[in-house]
A = this chain, B = another copy of it.
Amino acid sequence: ASTVLAAPAIAQGAPKVTWRLTSSFPKSLDTIYGGAEDLAKHVSEATDGNFQIQVFAAGEIVPGLQAADAVSAGTVEMCHTCSYYYVGKDPTFAIGTAIPFGLNARLTNSWFYDGNGNTLLNEFYATHGMVGFIAGNTGVQMGGWFRKEINTVDDFKGVKMRIAGLAGRVVEKLGVVPQQIPGGDIYPALEKGTIDAAEWVGPYDDQKLGFNKVAPYYYYPAFWEGGPVIHAFANKEKFEGLPASYQAALRDACAFANSSMMAKYDRKNPVAIRELVAAGTQLRPYSQEILEACFNAAMELYAEISASNPTFKKIYDDQVAFKRDAYLWMQLSEYTYDTFMMMQQRAGKL
């Protein structure tokens, strides 16, 4: 009889597991921070409460921009962060989130889920001891808050701007002085004039941080963030030690969180943009001249990085091949449908 009790195979199949997840975001940014809460809740529900992921805000365990380092080191099992925050270690990290003039959110999903994106990037993340899942997206972000108008490429010269990822290196080629500043510190820097401009996410989050109070001009689009991904990274060894069913539950919870965050932004941003404009914010599109100059600068930068970084080159080249085809196809039904719908919206007919 003791052998029967000594081999509770079913109980072994459902061990209690508790993980800690460090977010790169503060709780006040409920949508982007909430992505981690969503995925933790869904994992718990799918595992009957046996796999618990405790979510910690930026700074509670480690600073927001060191979340992935803590996962690599095994200090925490998991994080919710942007891959491009780690671009200082290797520019390849940027491709995981968004690179200037990259894919929009929908094509980002396609490249990750059905193209080679997930496979190629996880080969790279494995070298940092991590497994990555796309677990959130903001859509094309807004192009930042400026204290003065930017009408020509020359107007960029000497502008001190908070800007993330590889985008800083792109606009640097046009004379911008890029600054790396965590989200919570941007407002005082912009208010005091330590910086002249700042980009963060889009209307909903930017309104929460109050940038409209210290900079009147709100530019679009963020040509450096067509469909920025928020990644869930798990420590590779810890992930591989999970029961297969917990791995599967985590993977699908990330898929849910990925769609859910985009869904929230698409509902919340229209409300916020109306309020911002009603309160005096001046919307400005980047000129064609500026977009083209930045596009050329980005292509130059990719050639430079590719020349010395074969991992970057391999993943970048794959994404470019995907992008060429995808943006051909998008010109037909998707673009003509949306164009017509926007015309009806402007005409007040919707």
List the interface of chain A (C-beta within 8 A of B).
1, 4-5, 8, 10-11, 13-14, 42, 45-48, 101, 104-107, 109-115, 139-143, 202-203, 220-223, 226, 243-245, 248-249, 251-253, 255-256, 258-260, 262-264, 266-267, 269-271, 273-274, 283, 285-286, 288, 291, 295, 299, 320, 322-342, 344-346, 349-350
List 11 A–B pairs whose Cβ atoms lie within 8 Å, in order of A's numbering: A10-B11, A46-B249, A48-B243, A104-B338, A109-B259, A110-B266, A252-B256, A255-B256, A255-B260, A266-B329, A283-B332
B45 touches A329 (CB 8 A): no
Write the nearest CB–CB distance from A318 to chain B, whole angstroms.
12
B104 touches A105 (CB 8 A): no
Write the nearest CB–CB distance from A201 to chain B, whole angstroms.
11
B333 touches A139 (CB 8 A): yes
Among B245, B269, B341, the residue within 8 A (CB) of A329 is B269
- When A and B form their complex, which 8 residue pairs have the shortest distance between CB atoms, in order from nearest? A45-B248, A113-B263, A221-B333, A252-B252, A270-B325, A110-B266, A270-B329, A140-B333
- Copies of this chain present in the complex amount to 2
A141 touches B333 (CB 8 A): yes
A161 to B345, CA, bound (A): 29
Given A13-B48, A252-B42, verify A333-B109 contact (CB < 8 Å): no
A337 touches B114 (CB 8 A): no
Among residues of B, the one whose C-beta sits closest to the C-beta of A41 is B248
Given A13-B48, A115-B267, verify A5-B8 contact (CB < 8 Å): no
B113 touches A45 (CB 8 A): no
Write the nearest CB–CB distance from A143 to chain B, whole angstroms.
7
Write the nearest CB–CB distance from A115 to chain B, whole angstroms.
6
Among B253, B283, B326, the residue within 8 A (CB) of A252 is B253
Chain B CB within 10 Å — which of A324, A334, A335 has the most?
A334
Chain B residues near A349 (CB, 8 Å)?
295, 299
A203 to B143, CA, bound (A): 34
Among residues of B, the one whose C-beta sits closest to the C-beta of A202 is B333
B258 touches A259 (CB 8 A): yes
A46 touches B252 (CB 8 A): yes
Given A13-B14, A260-B114, A266-B114, verify A350-B324 contact (CB < 8 Å): yes
A46 to B42, CA, bound (A): 12
B104 touches A334 (CB 8 A): yes
A11 to B48, CA, bound (A): 12
